[in-house]
Amino acid sequence: MNTLKTLIIVTDLTLGGIQNYVRASANLLKEMNHKVFIIAINEAYKFKDIETISLNNYSSYKKPLLISQFIKENAIDVVVDHRTKSNILKQKVYDFLLRKTPKIQFIHSAHFDFYFYRWKVLNQFAYKHTTAFVSVSKYIDQLVSKEITAKHQVLYHYFDDLAVHQNQDKKDILFVGRFENDVKDLTFLLEAYHLSELHVQNVKFHFVGSGKDAALIKQFAANHNLEQKIVVHAATNDVTPFYQNAKVVVLASHFEGFPLVLMEALQHGTPVITTSFNNSVYELVKHQQNGLIVEKQLDIFAESLQKMYRNEELYNELLKNTKLFNEKFSKENAIKQWDMLLRDLF
């Protein structure tokens, strides 16, 4: 199809699952020969070869006006919006100012309070000029179809094929993500690790990321004399060494949209243990094939951690199956899906 001028809007472009998705899709659209721009409402790391603008220093009421002006000046063909919802007044201001340009709204979380209002009629009003809704998992797409009467589809995240380095000395437990206990339930993971007593075997628990509850992790370690076993690492753009050296990646969130950390772990050749926070888990993890999906009970999660170290036959089977071969997560499929989506709009 013809080259399109595409504007991606995101709340911030620093570190996190949504930000990783935005980076990947921006690069993909550029590879498809579209002209791509990014505007971050708040902070943004500069994006190589793609014009990236931060509105962090502007007042809130100026931001939609600046975006509208940018769209006109650059003759933008389509807006791809990764923001969560605002209050209804601000939401409608954006909707009105961007009304003349086709807009794709991405839904990244199954926690719909981030995107939709309580009443369906209010959603129709707030998103009146949104052309299409794109969800990051089949599970979320099914929920979206009940909230809005508009075009909707799934567009999975993807990774380029990695030369998986199967480190024979995989040893420790790994969590990657935002340090937000009310979402990620860090307390549960810490207590399960403590209950497993793997720390006695010198198995460390590494946390890589950033967020308001970093102190919670450090305080738990101090309270249980585990400062040398529970290690907090700053967020980094290159998590590959952590994934490749981890024996298992864990997740027990209260809710997720599409857990990219599980996808990243499997792509790096590392088995996972996760709770079944929603059905999107089953789109990635196959129980006892490339990971374990367990009930959210401390004793069960702790026992599953122990299995990774005591049941060598099980672990080797999981390790063998970590690489995702399903074509729906390939770059080729992502290009095909984007192409179909944009062709439908134009």
Please state the rounded mean pLDDT for residues 176-183.
94
Q: Looking at residue 237, what is its pLDDT?
A: 78
Confidence grade of residue 161 (pLDDT, cut at 50, 70, 90)? low
Contact 278, 258 (CB under 8 A): no
Q: Is the dihedral of CA 180, 309, 292, 246 positive or negative?
A: positive
Q: What is the DSSP letter of 84?
A: P
Regarding whether 73 and 35 lie in a shared domain, the answer is yes
CA-wise closest residue to 53 among 122, 18, 7, 16: 7
Contact 284, 265 (CB under 8 A): no
pLDDT in tens, 290-329: 999 999 999 999 999 999 999 999 999 999 888 766 677 8
Q: Looking at residue 162, what is its pLDDT?
A: 53
Least confident of 81-90, 102-111, 155-164, 233-242: 155-164
Q: Looking at residue 147, what is its pLDDT?
A: 87
Regarding whether 81 and 12 lie in a shared domain, the answer is yes
**Domain enclosing residue 71, as ranges:** 5-157+330-345
Query: What pTM did the predictor assign?
Result: 0.83
Show the DSSP H helices in the chain as ranges.
Answer: 17-31, 62-73, 88-97, 120-126, 138-147, 181-184, 186-196, 214-223, 240-245, 260-267, 298-310, 312-320, 331-345
Buried b (16+ CB within 10 A) or exposed e, 56-82: eeeeeeebbeebbebbeeeebbbbbbb
Q: Looking at residue 336, what is its pLDDT?
A: 93
> DSSP 3-state assignment of 13?
strand
What average pLDDT is seen over the chain?
Answer: 91
**How many domains, in total, are found in the chain?**
2
Pairing of strands 35-40, 51-54: parallel
One-letter amino acid at 53 equals I
Regarding whether 149 and 11 lie in a shared domain, the answer is yes
Confidence grade of residue 193 (pLDDT, cut at 50, 70, 90)? very high
Q: Looking at residue 93, what is its pLDDT?
A: 93
Regarding whether 178 and 71 lie in a shared domain, the answer is no
CA-wise closest residue to 29 among 155, 126, 139: 155
- Report d(CA 150, CA 154) in Å as an integer: 13
Regarding whether 296 and 270 lie in a shared domain, the answer is yes
Q: Looking at residue 166, what is its pLDDT?
A: 60
Q: Looking at residue 165, what is its pLDDT?
A: 56
Q: Looking at residue 324, what is its pLDDT?
A: 64
Give the whole-number percent of the chain exceeding pLDDT 90: 70
Regarding whether 147 and 38 lie in a shared domain, the answer is yes
Asked whether residue 81 is domain-assigned, the answer is: yes
Regarding whether 97 and 76 lie in a shared domain, the answer is yes
Confidence grade of residue 132 (pLDDT, cut at 50, 70, 90)? very high
Asked whether residue 164 is domain-assigned, the answer is: no
Q: Tally Cβ neighbours within 10 Å of residue 336.
A: 12
Asked whether residue 74 is domain-assigned, the answer is: yes
Asked whether residue 292 is domain-assigned, the answer is: yes
pLDDT in tens, 15-66: 677 888 898 999 999 999 999 999 999 988 777 789 999 999 999 989 999 9
Asked whether residue 163 is domain-assigned, the answer is: no
Element (H, E) at 177: strand 172-178
Give the whole-number percent of the chain exceeding pLDDT 70: 97
